Amino acid sequence: MDRIDLHCHTTCSDGTDSPKELVRKAKALGLRAVAITDHDTFRGHMEGMLAGMEYGVEFVPGVELSSMYMGEHIHLLAYYADEHSRRLKELMDRAVYERAHRNKKMVQRLHDAGYPIDMDIIRERFPGQTMIGRPHISEVLLEKGYVNSVREGVVTLMGRDAPFYVPRYHVPLLDYIRAVREAGGVPVIAHLYQYRMTDEQRREMIREAADAGLLGLEGMYSTYDKDQQETVFAFAKEFGLICTGGSDYHGEGKPGIHLGTGMGDLKVPYALLEGLREAAKKR
Ligand SMILES: [Zn+2]
Ligand SMILES: [Zn+2]
């Protein structure tokens, strides 16, 4: 078997498998390598690395960073970055602080308007969860009977034009790219087709990002169609970037997305990891 998965989440962010369980499943599926790319945290790496040695699966340390570019939320994958790098740590700490601060504000406003919730209730409902946000708040409101679905709560109460919406600061994409490079990591823009942009805007973003030190694009992804995949590979070629690939597996959190195979026919070859490791040598 020569397949890999370079985009996976664990219980350290919003996935439902522990790092060890993820690596065990990767082995059972015959994957040769697996990356842990939790949101804004390196917490799963030690357990993942040890599991990799135990099960004989190559472990790739990664992280998925939430950033902002021209008003759009862009996810930046970073592989092999030194988690002790000061600049990167500062930006990631800021992101975590901003998320917590925003949740607190939204929950307070809901509370003041008569919804019987507070942050303690939310935290108790999702123990250990570091990626708490609007869906979690909405889930609690759903369980208490105040909305009919998680989506309804997110959109009608906390959506962009809704009464309890609180905007959130995001680290600018180019700042994160520079910090990841400074930390010796490989910055890769994730799932290029999940952003509301035209291909022309995508090209412009990639051009600017490449100038700032971007090294790769996520070339294979669960929800890309054939044309999209080809376009991402063409962008990579145009700007001298590598391509990575992964499912964005979250376990039960995204039931339709399977480890390794995505929605069924994802096949990420080991060769992409070789390219990624080569890029990691660029300093
Ligand atoms: Zn993402
Ligand atoms: Zn992801």
Nearest to 70 by CA among 263, 229, 269, 205: 205
| Fold of the domain spanning 3-91+170-281 | TIM Barrel (3.20.20)
**Rounded distance, CA 243 to CA 255, Å?**
26
Domain 97-157 of CATH type 1.10.150:
yes
Please give, one letter per residue, the 3-state secondary structure of 180-239.
Answer: HHHCCCEEEECCHHHCCCCHHHHHHHHHHHHHHCCCEEEEEECCCCHHHHHHHHHHHHHH
Percent of the chain with pLDDT over 70: 99
Please, are residues 257 and 201 in contact by the beta-carbon 8 Å criterion?
no
Place of tokens 């008003």: 71
Residue 4 has a pLDDT of: 98
Q: Kindly provide the residue ranges of all beta strands, DSSP E only, lying in the chain, ordered along the sequence.
A: 3-5, 33-36, 58-69, 72-79, 171-172, 186-189, 216-221, 242-246, 268-269
* Ligand 1 midpoint to CA 29 (Å): 23
How far is residue 209's CA from residue 223's CA, in Å, rounded to a whole number?
23
pLDDT band at 145 (very low <50, low <70, confident <90, very high): very high
Task: Note the pLDDT tens digit of each residue in 66-95.
Answer: 999 999 999 999 999 999 999 999 999 999
Per-residue pLDDT tens digits for 224-243: 999 999 999 999 999 999 99
What is the pLDDT confidence band of residue 1, given thresholds at 50, 70 and 90?
Answer: low
pLDDT of residue 283: 66
SS3 (DSSP) at 63: strand
Ligand 2 centre to CA of 9 (Å) is: 6
Ligand nearest to the CA of 66: 1
pTM summary value: 0.91
Residues paired with 60 in a beta bridge: 35
Domain ranges of the chain: 3-91+170-281, 97-157
Å from CA of 62 to ligand 1 middle? 13
Question: How far is the centre of ligand 2, averaged over its atoms, from the C-alpha of 142 (Å)?
Answer: 25
Dihedral sign (CA 270, 47, 100, 255): positive
Q: Same fold for the domain at 3-91+170-281 and the one at 97-157?
A: no
Task: Tell me how far the alpha carbon of residue 55 lies from the centroid of ligand 2, in angstroms.
Answer: 24
Q: How far apart are alpha carbons 61 and 175 in whole angstroms?
A: 21
Predicted local distance difference test score (pLDDT) of residue 96: 87
Cα-to-centroid distance, 64 and ligand 1 (Å)? 7
125 Cα–ligand 1 center, Å: 24
Would you mind telling me the total number of residues written for the chain in this entry?
A: 283
Q: What is the pLDDT of residues 160-190, one digit of tens each?
A: 889 999 988 899 999 999 999 999 999 999 9
CA of 274 to the centre of ligand 2 (A): 21
